[in-house]
Amino acid sequence: MPDISVERISRIRSFPSLVRFLREELEWPLDGEDVEDLFFDYEPDELGINPEMAVRIRKIKLLRPFVAEQPWGIFYLSFEPKRLPV
Can you give the pTM of this predicted structure?
0.68
β-partners of residue 40 are: 62
- pLDDT, tens digit (0-9, with 9 covering 90-100), for 67-76: 888 899 888 8
Q: Could you give the count of Cα atoms lying within 13 Å of 5 in the half-sphere of its Cβ? A: 3
| pLDDT tens digits, 23-69 | 888 888 887 667 778 889 999 899 998 888 787 888 899 988 888 88
AA identity, residue 82: K
Given a contact cutoff of 8 angstroms between Cβ atoms, the answer to whether 4 and 12 are in contact is no
Q: How far apart are CA 20 and CA 43, in angstroms?
A: 24
Residue 1 has what pLDDT?
60
Q: Which of 84, 67, 76, 68 is nearest to 21 (CA)?
A: 76
pLDDT above 80 for 11: yes
